[in-house]
Amino acid sequence: MTRDDAILDERRAQVLRNGADGPAMACGKTSAAGSVSQRACVFCGSRVVLYPIADAVHLVHGPVGCAVYTWDIRGALSSGPQLHRNSFCTDLQETDVIHGGEKKLTRCLRELVTTYRPNAAFVYSTCIAGIIGDDIGAVCRKATAEYGIPVIPVMSEGFKGTKKDGYRAACEALASLIGTGDTTGISPHSINILGEFNIAGETWIIRDYLTAMGINVVATMTGDGRVPDIRRAHGAKLNLVQCSGSMVHLAKEMESRYGIPFKRVSYFGIEDMSQALYDVAEFFGDAPMLRRAQELVHRELTALLPALRDYRRDLTGRRAAIYVGGAFKAFSLVRALRHLGMQTVVVGSQTGNADDYRQLKELCDPGTIIVDDSNPVELAAFVREKGVDLFIGGVKERPIAYKLGIGFCDHNHERKRALAGFVGMLNFAREVHATVTSPVWNYVPRRRRLQEAV
Amino acid sequence: MALLRHTNQPAVERQALTINPAKTCQPVGALYAALGVHNCLPHSHGSQGCCSYHRSVLTRHYKEPVMAATSSFTEGSSVFGGQSNLLAAIENIFTLYAPDIIAVHTTCLSETIGDDIPQIAAKAQNEGKIPAGKFVIHANTPSYVGSHVTGFANMTKSLVSYFAEKGPAKLRTVNVVPGWVEPADMREIKRIAALMGVEIILFPDTSDVLDAPQIGKHEFYPRGGVTVQALRKTGSSQATIALGPTASGSAALELEKKCEVEATMLELPIGLRATDAFIDALRRIAGVEVPQALKDERGRLMDVITDMHQYFYGKRVALWGDPDQLVSLAGFLADVDMQPVYTVTGTPGRAFEERLTRVLAGRVPGVRMRQGAQADMFLLHQWIKEQAVDLLVGNTYGKYIARDENIPLVRHGFPILDRVGHAYFPSVGYLGGIRMLEKILQALQDKQDRDCPEEAVELVM
């Protein structure tokens, strides 16, 4: 097999080799029919964004599968209610498909509200709800009036675009909540945290840093999120937006509606985390706050850098492949891996845009393979070609990496240790070290072949 | 504080809402069944999300790569039909992934817009998109009908409809449809048949597919799976044994109808009596003797039961999951003197309650069972709140109840998302029975060791 045989012709424009001449990355395309794509759908995008709001009920209006596959699959931690960890579903049946599902949805909402007394309800539309033409908006408006809580439709029919469109639908649902709460008592040094989902408690880490700098965090969207906080989010002076695609739309919306500026940040890796804190301090133009930020960074790095040294010694020269949902995360990962002495030789995302890929080209070394919306056959071929020691990806990539005899780090839903913040950098180093230097690779055929080749 | 702290109130009958389902949708079952065919690529005819979710949940359960393609529906396809997507998919798949078979299953979306898969496949054939000797097969699996178990049944039945041929003469083979069980269970069924000297055709067969060895590369099609050649021969076999009517019944009946191969409906061979029935059916159909090795295995299971029965007496158990699994498990638990008092399955079908009632044969006073709508984990939790149980047996979704109520949980069924290794050990057969009992007793006694007063801790139990 020649090295690019694994690539479908119509996908060639979505793979580039850094430094080689060629056209710009073609991205934002729907996946080729018949490809074993690693991507999900609109509904998935909406569901992952909203699900961490822990004092709301999340009702899936559709078949049971859509509800089951999104039932508590991300460790989005809540410090209080655990309502979001339940799976609520209208479980549409054939008769509902024939006669319409609005009545069933209405009854489900009644049963939900009387059982749980939530602060809000999100109702997710699915492929089937869209196709049979249920007027979810109308049902939600009636329920809002009847129960006195916001019942918010999320227009997330699976076929209506890509996961990114699902993020957008989620942002629109959030936008309908924002602006409905009382903003009195919010400090002039106040922010919202957007695009942070509190996987393994990461929102708490960021929140602690910001609080230590003297900042009042109004709402976190959506990690450890609460409806009353979100309703008054328009009282904050700044939005901090993490994660490439998921919440920039909301930040822009809040900017135009309420004049709240936003900053795109990443909390992953030393430079990006520090920069995020400095950006905030700079925004408020408050000298004591900047000093507190500098002290915090100094304190954290004094502990972190010596702790990283041993990991770096073992990992220097090792090679990594990255395949993540959003490209923004990939930037941070490339930089963080450099801190560990590792080189990124393959990098890709499910949802990156042209600008993201331009930035990746600048950031990565010559020869790095950069890919949009990849699939297992391609990824396996790239990884073999580049002799990779570590794969960073999500649930579907893990077993492929293991089959190839390569270490793996989950930087997606299933990370179990916080990887954000300074402490997260240490956790990341530990996790990478654990898998890359595991003795198990001494016994797998790939490593034996490599050793024999020496 | 309890994770399911809201369950506390008195049980209110729900009419519409499902809370924490005890089932999932049809397509994932069709996908799992298709993985049990050699060189077959499952294909989801619907939105990208469906396929992504199914691959993710199967990967989380089996800790293996799961390959499947998707038609990647867009708004356009949902208006104009998915024909062009499927045609393009068929062409792309045979070009790039070179399977012998594409096994298409439908989704709620493609069913509702009315895509006719055989018609589209015929068009692909006419346009030369299907290479010679390759196949496109299909099963209808709308997500708003049945459950993952019926999806498995539908695709398994399709294997018969597409491939089984009634040959000129009967072969010695016996068909066995194993139902939705672990790869290790399928391997164990093959081992038992081999011990008896019975040549079986097991389909589908996910052993050596979803428990593939580490060989330093990713095999897109692992070496396991039933072959097309073997599927053809099923039409000339002596008989078909369907293990579990819900998952396997329709394939066996289809063989009877299409090729006049007699169908024998059995419960899944979990536990002593269900395994006896399976082995006896094999013996009878193939006209063989049960070998001493297998009689010894049975004897060892009997011995374990006698050693353990003192600990099992009267223990109340709650079960959830798939009908075939539940009927056999409940029967086995009752056979060892436990009380499987509560059973729920989201998979609809009244026959389940009749089968369960029959297998329990009045041995469990106060038994409660529910299938279909609102037969979910919330209902089960409400029952447990009313009167507690000593043990939970079911998939990962029971872990919230286990923690909140401090009840030991033995993981069994699909999906198991929070443990590794379950796909490697069978629960079927006599050995599987020993393993189940060992797990159960260990769970009960671990709890006793952990929770009993200090002075009551016993070294010898």
Please provide the DSSP assignment of B166-223 as one string: --SS--S-EEEE--S--HHHHHHHHHHHHHHT--EEESS--TTTTT----SS--SS-S
User: Is A40 within 8 Å of B48 when comparing Cβ atoms?
Assistant: yes
Task: Give yes or no for residue A31 having a pLDDT over 80.
Answer: no
- Which pLDDT score, from 0 to 100, does residue B89 have? 96
- Which pLDDT score, from 0 to 100, does residue B77 have? 82
Give percent above pLDDT 70 in chain B: 99
Mark whether B39 and B128 lie in a shared domain. yes
- The residue segments making up the domain with residue B280 are 174-289
Residue A36 inside a domain? The answer is: no
Task: Give yes or no for residue A448 having a pLDDT over 70.
Answer: no
- Residue B108 with chain A: CB contacts under 8 Å: 62-63, 92, 97, 126-128, 131
Mark whether B322 and B399 lie in a shared domain. yes
Q: Does B70 touch chain A (CB under 8 A)?
A: yes
Mark whether B439 and B417 lie in a shared domain. yes
Mark whether B422 and B311 lie in a shared domain. yes
Mark whether A111 and A219 lie in a shared domain. no
Number of domains in chain A: 3
Residue A29 inside a domain? The answer is: no
Mark whether B48 and B122 lie in a shared domain. yes
Give percent above pLDDT 70 in chain A: 93
| Per-residue DSSP letter, B25 | -
Residue B461 inside a domain? The answer is: no
- Which pLDDT score, from 0 to 100, does residue A3 have? 41
Residues A254, A257, A258, A263: is their CA dihedral positive or negative? positive
Strands lying side by side in the sheet with A343-349 = A15-17, A369-372, A343-349, A319-324, A390-393, A407-410
Mark whether B156 and B223 lie in a shared domain. no
- Which pLDDT score, from 0 to 100, does residue B306 have? 98
Mark whether B346 and B404 lie in a shared domain. yes
- Over residues B111-140, the mean pLDDT reads 97
Write down how long chain B is: 461
Mark whether B248 and B303 lie in a shared domain. no
Q: How many CB pairs under 8 A join A and B?
A: 259
User: Is A35 within 8 Å of B96 when comparing Cβ atoms?
Assistant: yes
- Which pLDDT score, from 0 to 100, does residue A325 have? 79
**Domain end (from B289, B318, B333):** B289
- Which pLDDT score, from 0 to 100, does residue A327 have? 81
**The three-state (H, E, C) secondary structure of chain A, written as one string:** CCCCCCCCHHHHHHEEECCCCCCCCCCCCCCCCCCCCCCCCHHHHHHHHHCCCCCEEEEEECCHHHHHCCCCCCCECCCCCCHHHCCEECCCCHHHHHHCCHHHHHHHHHHHHHHHCCCEEEEEECHHHHHCCCCHHHHHHHHHHHHCCCEEEECCCCCCCCHHHHHHHHHHHHHHHCCCCCCCCCCCCEEEEEEECCECCHHHHHHHHHHHCCCEEEEEEECCCCHHHHHCHHHCCEEEECCCCCCHHHHHHHHHHHCCCEEECCCCCHHHHHHHHHHHHHHHCCHHHHHHHHHHHHHHHHHHHHHHHHHHHHHCCCEEEEEECCHHHHHHHHHHHHHCCCEEEEEEECCCCHHHHHHHHHHCCCCCEEEECCCHHHHHHHHHHHCCCEEEECCCCHHHHHHHCCEEEECCCCCCCCCCHHHHHHHHHHHHHHHHCCHHHHCCHHHHHHHHHC
Mark whether A252 and A126 lie in a shared domain. no
Average per-residue pLDDT in chain A?
Answer: 91
Give percent above pLDDT 90 in chain B: 93
Residue B169 inside a domain? The answer is: no
- Over residues B234-262, the mean pLDDT reads 98
B219/B208 Cα distance (integer angstroms): 11
Q: Does B63 touch chain A (CB under 8 A)?
A: yes
Residue A125 inside a domain? The answer is: yes
What's the complex ipTM?
Answer: 0.95
On whether the CB atoms of residues B102 and B37 are closer than 8 A, the answer is no
* Residue pLDDT, tens place only, A147-172: 999 999 999 999 998 888 999 999 99
User: Is A88 within 8 Å of B19 when comparing Cβ atoms?
Assistant: yes
- Which pLDDT score, from 0 to 100, does residue A324 have? 86
Residues 331-390 of A with CB under 8 A from B: 376-377, 380, 384
Q: Does A67 touch chain B (CB under 8 A)?
A: yes
Among A309-318, A420-429, B6-15, B392-401, whose mean pLDDT is lowest?
A: B6-15
Least Cα separation, residue A396 to chain B (angstroms): 6
User: Is A36 within 8 Å of B69 when comparing Cβ atoms?
Assistant: yes
Least Cα separation, residue A392 to chain B (angstroms): 15
Mark whether B316 and B420 lie in a shared domain. yes
Residue A26 inside a domain? The answer is: no
Residues 392-451 of B with CB under 8 A from A: 397, 400
- The residue segments making up the domain with residue A385 are 316-415
Residue B366 inside a domain? The answer is: yes
Residues 83-142 of B with CB under 8 A from A: 85-86, 88-93, 95-97, 107-109, 112-113, 142
- Which pLDDT score, from 0 to 100, does residue B8 have? 60
Mark whether A353 and A229 lie in a shared domain. no
- Which pLDDT score, from 0 to 100, does residue A30 have? 66
Average per-residue pLDDT in chain B?
Answer: 96
Q: Does B233 touch chain A (CB under 8 A)?
A: no
Q: Which of A37, A68, A86, A385 to mutate to test the interface with B (most CBs of B within 10 A)?
A: A68
Q: Does B8 touch chain A (CB under 8 A)?
A: no
Residue A308 inside a domain? The answer is: no
Least Cα separation, residue A2 to chain B (angstroms): 13
- Which pLDDT score, from 0 to 100, does residue A20 have? 66
Residue A55 inside a domain? The answer is: yes
Mark whether A267 and A333 lie in a shared domain. no
Residue B282 inside a domain? The answer is: yes
User: Is B25 within 8 Å of A63 when comparing Cβ atoms?
Assistant: yes
Mark whether B338 and B201 lie in a shared domain. no
- Over residues B207-215, the mean pLDDT reads 94
Mark whether A50 and A141 lie in a shared domain. yes
Q: Which of A2, A12, A41, A46 to mutate to test the interface with B (most CBs of B within 10 A)?
A: A41
* Residue pLDDT, tens place only, A381-402: 898 889 999 999 988 889 989 9
Beta pairing class for A88-89 and B18-19: antiparallel
CATH number at residue B96: 3.40.50.1980
Task: Give yes or no for residue B438 having a pLDDT over 90.
Answer: yes
Number of domains in chain B: 3
A14-41 burial, b at 16+ Cβ within 10 Å, e below that, comes to bbbebeeeeeebbbeebbbbbbbbbbbb
Q: Which of A349, A190, A342, A314 is nearest to A261 (CA)?
A: A190
Mark whether B283 and B301 lie in a shared domain. no
- Which pLDDT score, from 0 to 100, does residue B11 have? 64
Mark whether A227 and A128 lie in a shared domain. no
* Residue pLDDT, tens place only, A232-280: 999 999 999 986 668 999 999 999 999 999 999 999 999 999 999 999 9
Mark whether A148 and A49 lie in a shared domain. yes
Least Cα separation, residue B143 to chain A (angstroms): 6
Mark whether A270 and A342 lie in a shared domain. no
**Domain end (from B109, B141, B163):** B163
Q: Who's near B224: CB < 8 A, 6+ residues apart?
A: B36, B38, B183, B205, B206, B207, B208, B209, B212
A48/A63 Cα distance (integer angstroms): 18
- Over residues B13-27, the mean pLDDT reads 95
Residue A205 inside a domain? The answer is: yes
Mark whether A112 and A144 lie in a shared domain. yes
B13/B76 Cα distance (integer angstroms): 41
Q: Which of A11, A12, A39, A64 to mutate to test the interface with B (most CBs of B within 10 A)?
A: A64
- Residue A400 with chain B: CB contacts under 8 Å: 65, 218
User: Is A65 within 8 Å of B49 when comparing Cβ atoms?
Assistant: no
Mark whether A87 and A50 lie in a shared domain. yes
Residues 40-59 of A with CB under 8 A from B: 40-44
Mark whether B98 and B112 lie in a shared domain. yes
| Per-residue DSSP letter, B12 | P
Residue B116 inside a domain? The answer is: yes
- Which pLDDT score, from 0 to 100, does residue A161 have? 87
**Domain end (from B163, B183, B201):** B163
Q: Does B14 touch chain A (CB under 8 A)?
A: yes
**Domain end (from A227, A261, A295):** A295
Residue A12 inside a domain? The answer is: no
Q: Does A185 touch chain B (CB under 8 A)?
A: no
Q: Which of A370, A187, A384, A392 is nearest to A286 (CA)?
A: A187
Mark whether A70 and A171 lie in a shared domain. yes
Residue B113 inside a domain? The answer is: yes
CATH number at residue A256: 3.40.50.1980
Among A24-38, B136-150, B183-197, whose mean pLDDT is lowest?
A: A24-38
Mark whether A153 and A56 lie in a shared domain. yes
- Which pLDDT score, from 0 to 100, does residue A286 have? 95
A247/A194 Cα distance (integer angstroms): 6
**Domain end (from A295, A330, A360):** A295
Residue B99 inside a domain? The answer is: yes
